[in-house]
């Protein structure tokens, strides 16, 4: 789970509020929701962020754009 949390944080820097690659409102909406099962919500957030990242890569091509911020 630690690796997944690290990936979530990196992707949030890209697509969360004030994200380097822009803000996706779906991310803020998901974070604002209160889920009685936080682990499930984290998994859903990671899937959403990966989906947004994949979409960004398709639009901007491969290469350096594929690298997550450290």
- When pLDDT is averaged across residues 34-57 and rounded to a whole number, the result is 92
Q: What is the 3-state secondary structure (H, E, C) of 12-41?
A: HHHHCCCCCCCCCHHHHHHHHCCCCCHHHH
CB within 8 A of 66, min separation 6: which ones?
57
Instruction: For the chain, give the mean pLDDT.
Output: 88
pLDDT at 41 over 60: yes
- When pLDDT is averaged across residues 19-46 and rounded to a whole number, the result is 92
- When pLDDT is averaged across residues 35-57 and rounded to a whole number, the result is 93
Q: What is the pLDDT of residue 38?
A: 86
Provide the whole-model pTM.
Answer: 0.84
CA distance 60 to 37: 35
């Amino acid at each position: 789970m630690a690796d997944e949390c690290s990936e979530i944080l990196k992707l949030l820097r890209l697509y969360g509020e004030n994200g380097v690659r822009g803000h996706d409102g779906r991310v803020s909406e998901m974070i604002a929701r209160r889920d009685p099962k936080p682990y499930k919500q984290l998994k859903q957030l990671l899937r959403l962020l990966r989906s947004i990242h994949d979409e960004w890569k398709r639009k901007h091509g491969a290469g350096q754009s594929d690298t997550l911020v450290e």
